[in-house]
Amino acid sequence: MTYHPKSDFLNVMMARGYLADCTDLQGLDEKLRAGTVSAYIGYDATAASLHVGHLLNIMILRWLQKTGHRPLTLMGGGTTKLGDPSFRSEERPLLTDAQIGQNIDGMKKVFARYLSYGEGATDAVMLNNAEWLDNLNYLTFLREIGRHFSVNRMLSFESVKTRLDREQSLSFLEFNYMILQAYDFLELHKRYGCVLQMGGSDQWGNIINGVDLTRRVMDAQLFGLTSPLLATSDGKKMGKSAGGAVWLNGDMLAPYDFWQFWRNSTDADVGRFLKLYTELPVEECERLGALQGSEINEAKVILANEVTTLLHGAEAAQAAEATARAVFEQGGVGGELDVATLPRDTLGEGLSVVKFLVEAGLVTSGKEAKRLVSENGLRFNNDTVSDANMLVTADLIGAELKVSIGKKKHHLVRLA
């Protein structure tokens, strides 16, 4: 983009790589300079925690507040009952009201780490769209809202076309999702003066619908802004790791493992991740990202520390770094490794290495365990294990046994 914004918020968005598209960049820039802007991002409650894939947009809300505007965090207590079909190959499983409520409670814990909530002009507001969606009268909604939507246009959106082109079923339930998301924007404008909706670039069609609907119903000018959908430099979806989703709730993913996720970033991603997920100056992010050889590893430590401090606090970040250095550099055990508990009865008089790894939950199959041993990828207390049939006994485990799988995964196994 060649546009040079004058507002602090858009300057941050463009300089740090947060901006994918905007409905009216100049108009939004002028609005941001004219006074405090209320903007929202919606989060459906499909899991008990947000994950790293959500973190980019949470950082956008944080920057919005830091530059003098008001973030609205919208929990999808209503829309979760339908499920967003955008770029999905199949319908989401339907959740009960109780499950949705529990998920929202889990998700709320994360936002307080990044945003300041309260009653002030720029204090964040936590909302739930069930407040206005749950009690809608269907016929009234169709007459007042549904008449503003063209099915032809809805079918033209990329998120819908992708599903239909693959001849995958799109239920009427899912098809209604974009109407309800547009209605959210209308309601947020009415109730809170919200003029900006943000989200990932997969939400572009849904955001446009809300902008258009509010213009038709209230003759108001609203704005939409999207961020890029990130993948790592090796093509993996951001937020996923070999072990599954990288959760933001500490009770679903230990701070040490969260720290390790960032420490294990590929060299090519370091500079970009520093800009997106930390508050270090852009120039410093670029300097660190340009480091080569062993120096880039220290940049990765800085990345891991900065991101972990924002979410879990400085103490957790320092403890994770100390543990990692003890494990990788000194061969020690450290204080925050994953702990696997093996029932003493299961161990009995001893298990082969292969059965031990499977029973302790450290590998998913005996085949994987055998491969580890054959490739010298398994170590007990820093000693390479070369015999897959070696017997693991209570005496060998002792108080605890450090099991290293490859160079980056370390566990403590204890008997129960």
Helix and strand tally (H, E) in the chain?
A: 20, 15
Positive or negative: CA dihedral 43, 47, 51, 53: negative
> Is 41 domain-assigned?
yes
Q: For residue 337, what pLDDT is reported?
A: 61
pLDDT for position 51: 93
Asked if residue 235 is part of any domain, the answer here is no
* Shared-domain flag, residues 324 and 348: no
In 3D, which of 229, 312, 232, 227 has the Cα closest to residue 272?
Answer: 232
Tell me, yes or no, whether 238 lies in a domain.
no
In a domain, 241, yes or no: no
Same domain, 188 and 45: yes
Same domain, 145 and 39: yes
Domain span including residue 270: 254-328
Q: In terms of domains, do 188 and 83 share one?
A: yes
Would 137 be classed as within a structural domain? yes
Q: For residue 245, is it within any domain?
A: no
Shared-domain flag, residues 322 and 389: no
Q: Is residue 244 part of a domain?
A: no
293, amino acid identity: G
Based on the structure, what is the number of domains in the chain? 3
Q: Which residues contact 292 (CB under 8 A, 6 or more apart)?
A: none
- Is residue 21 domain-shared with residue 152, that is, in the same domain? yes
132, 141 Cβ separation under 8 angstroms: no
Q: Are residues 181 and 34 part of one domain? A: yes
- Indicate the residue type of 233: S
Statement to judge: residues 17 and 150 lie in one domain: yes
For residue 161, give the CATH number of its domain. Answer: 3.40.50.620
Q: How many CA atoms lie within 13 A of 352 on its CB side?
A: 10
- Per-residue pLDDT at 259: 94
Q: Is there a contact between 397 and 391 (Cβ–Cβ < 8 Å)? A: no
CATH number at residue 278: 1.10.240.10
pLDDT score of 84:
63
Residues 24 and 123 in one domain: yes
Tell me, what's the pLDDT at 335?
A: 52
Other beta carbons less than 10 A from residue 261's beta carbon:
18
Q: 10 Å Cβ neighbour count for 153?
A: 12
Q: Which of 58, 44, 28, 30 is nearest to 195 (CA)?
A: 28
- CB-based contacts of 101, cutoff 8 Å, min separation 6: 45, 77
In a domain, 192, yes or no: yes
Over the chain (416 residues), the average pLDDT of each successive run of 10 is: 90 97 97 98 91 95 98 93 62 81 90 95 95 92 90 80 73 82 96 97 91 95 94 71 76 91 92 98 97 92 98 95 77 61 85 90 86 88 85 83 80 80
Q: pTM for this one?
A: 0.79
The predicted structure's pLDDT at residue 86: 60
Are 184 and 39 within 8 A, CB to CB?
Answer: no
d(CA 40, CA 69): 11
Q: Are residues 206 and 111 in the same domain?
A: yes
Q: Quote the distance between the C-alpha of residue 206 and its chain's center.
A: 20
> CB atoms < 10 A from the CB of 89, how many?
9
pLDDT at 243: 53
Same domain, yes or no, for 309 and 374?
no
Task: Please check whether residues 42 and 149 belong to one and the same domain.
Answer: yes
Length of the chain: 416
- In angstroms, the CA 206 to CA 183 distance is 10
Using the structure block, give the residue that is written with the tokens 């939004």: 28
Compute how many other C-beta atoms are within 10 angstroms of the C-beta atom of residue 113: 14
